[in-house]
Structure 1
Amino acid sequence: MENTPFASQQLINSRYVNHLIFLFGIVYFAQGIAQSGGLISLPLNYYLKEVMQLDELGATNYLAILTIPWVIKPVYGLVSDFISLFGYRRKSWLLVLNLLTCIGYFWLAEIADSDQLIMALLLTAIGTAAADVIIDALMVENGRKFNMTAHFQAVQWFWLCVAQIITSILGGWLAEMADPGTGLRTAAIITMVAPVIIAILSWLIVEEEKTAMDLASLKATVAGLRETFRSRLLWATILFLILWNFSPGFGIPIYYFMTDTLNFSQSFIGHLGAISSVGSILGAWLYGKYMSNRSMEYQLVFSILTSALSTFSYLGAIMPTSYSGLLFIALSFFFGITSMVALLAVLTLAARACPERSEGFTFALLMSIVNGCAQLSAMMGSWMLINWFEGYLAPLIILSGAATLFCLFLLPSFKIKKMVVVSP
């Protein structure tokens, strides 16, 4: 083959794309361990229930403060889009923020006082959420540049699910075998390693020219933000995400239900999370293989219908029987598949709604809506479970499925069906 400048550039681009695929996979694997829903999740929930004696509403409200760093993700996106650190917009921030997360988990491992627990958890949430914004900005920038958005998304979430399999089993084992305090501290010590890995790899792999903020780039970014809020697609996506993430029957309510009503052990609950993650891996593969180059309308309609079906299926498993464990195993696997296919479709939609020069801000804005709505629905679900439904979970499951189905009515209103997804 003739070694032309064009061919050489293609080879360089191909190598860099492969490096990015490796980076995104490892980073999301590490984030799957480090985030609040990772290894720390089950030991923390068990600690809140057994040591702090919190009910469903109390535990949800206590954890609500950890959502704040995820809800204000656009702030991190703005900082990363506007302000360079040590001359870089992305890699320097990734280094500093992941070291901050590591410090937070070290503090958490040393805490013996429950009053300090929330502060250490908040520090880890700030570092993890901000780093997540910057990784997503890199994904959006390079996904658009190399036409690899859907592929990058599939790789990221595949490895996140692998991490969730490991952390679900290990977290459940820690909650089951150790006392709540020891289990929480052990999980924190193990988790400390993950942000260090992210910091090192992102510094070594990310190719970024040094930049300094000047008036021209400032105007370009402001123009990008202005364009962001003029985008009809963006507003359609926002409304879609609000309904999509209204799931009051899941999270803390279903965890307490499985523990107190169905008498599932912490280890078994951890294994259910792992089974769901196995289903999610299959879902990520199915999306990359069969769904990523379908039209956006097809992806969203398929996702809405299958997600609603999997949600309503839980109505058949909430009455305690000798088969409850088997039912939850099957439902966890099926729910993992459908939720991952749906998630990747929605995230691809969100990534394509981001104008240039404000990728970090826009994608962070959309993801903050995801996190805020998820936490708000969890708080509403816990409150309704206690005050309206007297601990009966079925009405919350019906509300969750109905909100998902209502997304169908948004598609023609916001002309999402006219979008075309380009094959990576």
Structure 2
Amino acid sequence: MEESQLERNPRNGFLALVLRPINWLKMLGGELHWSFVLGVMIVYGISQGFAVGMIKVSTMYYMKDEQKVQPSELQVYLGLLQLPWVIKPLWGLLTDTLPVLGYRRRPYFIFAGFLSVTSMLALSIQRNLSLAFSLLSLMGVSAGIAIAVVAIDACVTQNSISHPSLAGDMQSLCGFSSSIGALVGYSLSGFLVHLVGPKGVFGLLSVPAGLVILVGMMLKESRVHKFTHRGVNEKFLDAGKAMWTALKFRDVWRPCLYMYLSLAVSLNIHEGMFYWYTDAKGGPSFSQVLAFHLL
């Protein structure tokens, strides 16, 4: 009966298909609070997905054209920019054990947003930046995004404990937001670098970074009462011991070791190919728009 109705009224079927994700978001907002759903979409979709896609392309052009960095050096510097992501467990331990002004998540969102905004504006406004200061600013951007992601992951974990039936939906929301944001970011990165240059892109990205501050201001979170900083060291050590205990399990350390080795021993000439793609003398001299599609 339903199939025949859909065949007779294809518009109703299309409308139901379009409204399904909207109703799904409404359901999540009603069960988990709208500020959490919006926070996931901002952090995963805009800050991590969209902004990281834009930053990757603009950073390579910035280091090549502004700082005159060689491809071999660029690989080393891009590896250094991943350090804030390598120490993500440290950010997680801090958000769990060290509340600020009675809150575990909100201050970290605000701090991450301000760190990203100031780093973006420094790269965009300041002229003739030294290589060291440029790397420090780019690392600040990376750290801001990493801290925001860790904080929203903590919120997802907390809500998964209180709403176990919605744990899968929350993971779907995170993955969906990140994928859509990355798709849009990578699609627009080449065009924007061509129009306003890499420094102009950094300036534009201060707006998405500022949205993370908004997450910290609007997120619904219960305040921690009866907290003393004397027990922070003890809680920090206990959390570290619990993490080490988890890593001792065979089902945990073996996949971690495999993922580490698969990334550590794989050869990558991505930066060298980028320089060749955009070289006017020895390469095909692709524009920013064409080079983006080949990255």
Instruction: State the 1:245 CA deviation.
Output: 3.0
Map of 1:27 onto structure 2: 43
| Aligned partner letter, 2:186 | S
Q: Is the 8 A contact 2:112 2:212 kept in 1?
A: no
Map of 1:311 onto structure 2: none
CA separation of 1:174 and 1:220: change in aligned 2, threshold 3 A: closer
CA separation of 1:60 and 1:128: change in aligned 2, threshold 3 A: same
- For the pair 1:265 / 2:291, whether they are aligned, the reply is no
CA separation of 1:264 and 1:158: change in aligned 2, threshold 3 A: farther
Q: Is the 8 A contact 1:169 1:267 kept in 2?
A: no
5+ long unaligned stretches in structure 2: 1-26
> What does 1:152-191 correspond to in 2, within 5 Å?
152-178=170-196, 183-191=197-205
**For 1:270 and 1:98, how far apart are their aligned partners in 2?**
27
CA separation of 1:58 and 1:224: change in aligned 2, threshold 3 A: closer
| Aligned partner letter, 2:163 | F
Q: Is the 8 A contact 1:105 1:188 kept in 2?
A: yes
- For the pair 1:138 / 2:152, whether they are aligned, the reply is no
Instruction: State the 1:258 CA deviation.
Output: 4.6
Instruction: State the 1:33 CA deviation.
Output: 6.0
* Residues 232-284 of structure 1: CA deviation (Å, up to 9, x unaligned): 033233213213434433642453455455654321233467xxxxxxxxxxx
- For the pair 1:50 / 2:65, whether they are aligned, the reply is yes
| Aligned partner letter, 1:191 | L
Q: Is the 8 A contact 2:120 2:202 kept in 1?
A: yes
**For 1:121 and 1:240, how far apart are their aligned partners in 2?**
29
**For 1:176 and 1:70, how far apart are their aligned partners in 2?**
29
Q: Is the 8 A contact 2:50 2:182 kept in 1?
A: no
Out of 109, 117, 126, which is 1:102 matched to? 117
Map of 2:94 onto structure 1: 79
CA separation of 1:151 and 1:110: change in aligned 2, threshold 3 A: same
When normalised by structure 1's length, the TM-score is: 0.54
CA separation of 1:139 and 1:151: change in aligned 2, threshold 3 A: same
Map of 1:128 onto structure 2: 145
- For the pair 1:236 / 2:258, whether they are aligned, the reply is no
When normalised by structure 2's length, the TM-score is: 0.74
| Aligned partner letter, 1:62 | Y
> What does 1:255-404 correspond to in 2, within 5 Å?
255-256=274-275, 258-259=277-278, 264-271=286-293
Out of 128, 136, 145, which is 1:113 matched to? 128
Root-mean-square deviation (Å): 3.1
- For the pair 1:209 / 2:244, whether they are aligned, the reply is no
| Aligned partner letter, 1:48 | M
**For 1:81 and 1:25, how far apart are their aligned partners in 2?**
22
CA separation of 1:249 and 1:136: change in aligned 2, threshold 3 A: same
% of aligned pairs identical?
21
**For 1:140 and 1:251, how far apart are their aligned partners in 2?**
35
Instruction: State the 1:225 CA deviation.
Output: 3.3
**For 1:63 and 1:114, how far apart are their aligned partners in 2?**
17
CA separation of 1:65 and 1:219: change in aligned 2, threshold 3 A: closer
Q: Is the 8 A contact 2:43 2:149 kept in 1?
A: no
**For 1:234 and 1:211, how far apart are their aligned partners in 2?**
34
Q: Is the 8 A contact 1:111 1:117 kept in 2?
A: no
Q: Is the 8 A contact 2:112 2:148 kept in 1?
A: yes
Q: How many equivalent pairs are there?
A: 258
Q: Is the 8 A contact 2:92 2:151 kept in 1?
A: yes
Out of 80, 98, 101, which is 1:65 matched to? 80
**For 2:269 and 2:285, how far apart are their aligned partners in 1?**
17
5+ long unaligned stretches in structure 1: 1-11, 274-424
**For 1:13 and 1:56, how far apart are their aligned partners in 2?**
46
**For 1:212 and 1:220, how far apart are their aligned partners in 2?**
15
* Residues 172-213 of structure 1: CA deviation (Å, up to 9, x unaligned): 0133345xxxx1221111111112212213431332232453
Instruction: State the 1:219 CA deviation.
Output: 5.7
**For 1:169 and 1:105, how far apart are their aligned partners in 2?**
20
Map of 2:12 onto structure 1: none
Q: Is the 8 A contact 1:82 1:213 kept in 2?
A: no
* Residues 133-154 of structure 1: CA deviation (Å, up to 9, x unaligned): 2122222222233223443232
Instruction: State the 1:216 CA deviation.
Output: 7.7
